[in-house]
Chain A
Amino acid sequence: MLNYAFRRLLMLPVVMFALSLMIFALQMSLTPTQRLAAYAPSPDFLKGGQESIRALIEQYGLNDPFYIQYGRWIGNILTGNLGWSETARQPVGVALASLLPATIELVFLAFFPGLLLAIYLGSRAGIHLNRWPDHLIRVFTILGWSFPVYVFGLLMLLIFYSALDWFPPGRLSQWAQAVVSSPGFVRYTGANTVDALLNGNVAVFLDALRHLVAPVVTLIYVNLANMTRVMRTSMLETLRQDYVRTARAKGMPRRVVELHHARRNALLPVATIAGMELAYMMGGVVITETIFDYSGLGQFAAKSAANLDFPAILGFGLYFAVVLVVLNLLVDLIYPLLDPRVKTK
């Protein structure tokens, strides 16, 4: 098991190396002007004529062969210097660290209720195979799956913001933002709901929650189908096992067999897909954050990508690779807890 975990971790540097090569190659494919512009301290700088441009090329060694440039660049990254993000107007590391709590807050609030709902719906559908609960659940989830996130998100805004004014976009109302940035308010975690509770400020907590409802509901509904589907299939398979039939034959009530004996064992494949789902949410709530103007990592990554802000893109890519490897590892570690038979491998 440990050996296996170690092999998984070894994958991390390989992925990161390849990622850095990919991004560096993309950077090299820019036109000379574009590449130079990325290093200019201000837009007016390039108008300063040949002299200042030459100075810039000299200063950053932009005329060196590519492998020297790559070496220098990767050296910076390895010493923890991810570079300056033009999009955030901050060092990349600082920007990522300050936005991470917001994304974690959003993703956790959407992921865990979504997972429970998927397990519930999936096992229901499996138990009632090809009868109306199954059909109903299938229609419900497939509709959510076919909704483009931005169409569903915009519908939410149309109804719950424009018409009802219940759930506004953003992370906090103006007054609450003022409270949060005031010196009396301690930022323990950077997640608004948690910090508000720790500071004992219920009004801010409710305000933060109010801003989270629409993106959370959107994320849950749009991502529901996959996990529900896997749960359903897995439930079907488990219900056909001999031990389930034996339990029924012994006269055990149907509900107990279905919910306690079968469902527990049906969870295994769901763990795998849930881990992947969580990883993609951690790195991919790009559209949801953009629509609801929720300033988290996804929105930042989207802006950086559109601006070709390479230091930020690489920083985000590295972050995502770490999340992916760590979560996959976690899923592997959870496996034996769900199914003791796995332990020996």
Chain B
Amino acid sequence: MKTLRYFARNPMSVLGVVILVAFVLIAVFAPVLAPPQEFQMTPYDTPRAGFTATPQPPSEEAIFGTTEGQYDIYYAVVWGTRTAFKIGLGVVAISVLVGTIVGAVAAYYGGMVDEVLMRTVDVFMAVPFLIAAMVLTALLGKGIVPVTIALATFGWMGYARIIRSEMLRIREMDYVHAARTYGASDLRLIALHIIPNAFFPVLVLATMATGSMVLSASALSFLGVGTEEGYADWGQFIAYSRNWIVGQPGNPFQYWYTLAFPGAAIFLFVLSWNLVGDTLRDILDPRHAH
């Protein structure tokens, strides 16, 4: 309740929640907002109005205009919302799961097991994230599944560290000792008493990571190893706009719509996650208590 009140009092976090809810609605009602047309293999294939390279400005048929290759920008922005949720939540879910298991095992067994697992974490942290994800995606092929796997492979370490340190802290607390004297099993202790108490810091990290993982995924698309050609994915549409930054002489902003709409979509999406995450972090941080 106190958490909710804090949220409601803070205009920035309210804004974050509002934008996030709007995106959820767009994702849910995508088939209504931008009905897929005939002959599409999947609804994520952006329809195109021809094959000419030059983008066309917003018009009756394409309200956000078309980008390079005549892909409909409005359609891609709407369906790209689903892509963003899938990748963001998918990567974070896998990372949290893997990180929790590794962190819990390391803290529980301690000693050699702990040492090996934590050095593995160090090694993964010493890998340049984006380049490593690029290599793995390039190996696995294009599409959102390879992208999700690649990002999760190099994104779980933070959770492992948090879970481990929280477990080490919590397991020495009186109520855990009490539960143990009652004869609770180790698994029960970990699952029911320790992990739930480590939940909040993980939640903050996960919220923040959702936004940044969507950023990384679209960066992969931008760098040319992400999703397939024409897939409804914001990063890919921003990549298309890159060739059209310079307009014709005398008209420098000629192709503004190729960047503005997908750019605004991803910016607002990441912003909303960051605003929510930032507020959660404040709530958690005792130094901000009044």
Give the B-binding residues of A (Cβ under 8 A): 11, 14-15, 18-19, 22, 26, 29-30, 135, 138-139, 142-143, 145-151, 154-155, 157-158, 161-163, 233, 236-237, 240, 283-284, 286-287, 290-291, 301-302, 305-308, 313, 316-317, 320-321, 324-325
Do B267 and A305 touch (CB < 8 A)?
Answer: no
Inter-chain CA distance A70–B222, complex, in Å, is 33
Which residue of B has the minimal Cβ distance to A320?
A: B128
A284 interface neighbour in B130, B136, B252, B288, Cβ under 8 Å: B130
Inter-chain CA distance A285–B122, complex, in Å, is 21
Do B219 and A287 touch (CB < 8 A)?
Answer: yes
Inter-chain CA distance A155–B274, complex, in Å, is 21
B residues less than 8 Å from A143 (CB atoms) = 271
Instruction: In the A-B complex, list the 7 residue pairs whose CB atoms are closest, starting with the nearest.
Output: A305-B134, A146-B271, A163-B252, A162-B252, A18-B123, A151-B263, A146-B270
- Some 20 contacts from A to B, beta carbons below 8 A apart, are A18-B120, A142-B278, A146-B211, A147-B267, A150-B219, A154-B238, A154-B245, A158-B252, A158-B259, A162-B246, A162-B252, A233-B285, A240-B287, A284-B131, A286-B130, A286-B131, A287-B219, A305-B138, A308-B135, A308-B138
Nearest-neighbour CB distance to chain B for A321, whole angstroms, equals: 5
Do A151 and B126 touch (CB < 8 A)?
Answer: no
Do A151 and B245 touch (CB < 8 A)?
Answer: no
Give the A-binding residues of B (Cβ under 8 A): 12, 119-120, 122-123, 126-132, 134-136, 138-139, 211, 215, 218-219, 222-225, 235, 238, 241-242, 245-247, 252-253, 256, 259, 263, 266-267, 270-271, 274-275, 278, 285, 287-288
Do B238 and A148 touch (CB < 8 A)?
Answer: yes
Which residue of A has the minimal Cβ distance to B262?
A: A151
Interface of chain A, helix or strand or loop or mixed? helix
Which residue of B has the minimal Cβ distance to A150?
A: B222
Do B131 and A162 touch (CB < 8 A)?
Answer: no
B218 interface neighbour in A148, A157, A237, Cβ under 8 Å: A148
A138 interface neighbour in B12, B225, B247, B267, Cβ under 8 Å: B12
B253 interface neighbour in A26, A163, A305, A306, Cβ under 8 Å: A163
Do A154 and B242 touch (CB < 8 A)?
Answer: yes
Using known A-B contacts A148-B238, A148-B266, determine if residue A290 contacts B223 with beta carbons closer than 8 Å: yes
A residues less than 8 Å from B215 (CB atoms) = 148
A residues less than 8 Å from B274 (CB atoms) = 142, 145-146
A287 interface neighbour in B211, B223, B270, Cβ under 8 Å: B223
B residues less than 8 Å from A317 (CB atoms) = 127-128, 131-132
A residues less than 8 Å from B132 (CB atoms) = 317
Inter-chain CA distance A149–B135, complex, in Å, is 20
Nearest-neighbour CB distance to chain B for A190, whole angstroms, equals: 21
Do A308 and B139 touch (CB < 8 A)?
Answer: yes
B residues less than 8 Å from A302 (CB atoms) = 130-131, 134, 223
Which residue of B has the minimal Cβ distance to A17?
A: B123
Using known A-B contacts A158-B245, A308-B135, determine if residue A142 contacts B238 with beta carbons closer than 8 Å: no
A155 interface neighbour in B119, B135, B259, Cβ under 8 Å: B259
Which residue of A has the minimal Cβ distance to B16?
A: A142
Give me 15 other A-B pairs in contact (C-beta within 8 A), A26-B139, A236-B288 excluded.
A14-B119, A14-B122, A135-B12, A138-B12, A142-B275, A146-B270, A148-B235, A148-B238, A150-B238, A154-B245, A157-B246, A283-B128, A286-B223, A306-B138, A313-B135
Nearest-neighbour CB distance to chain B for A303, whole angstroms, equals: 9
Nearest-neighbour CB distance to chain A for B192, whole angstroms, equals: 32
Nearest-neighbour CB distance to chain B for A292, whole angstroms, equals: 11
B residues less than 8 Å from A307 (CB atoms) = 138
Do B126 and A30 touch (CB < 8 A)?
Answer: no
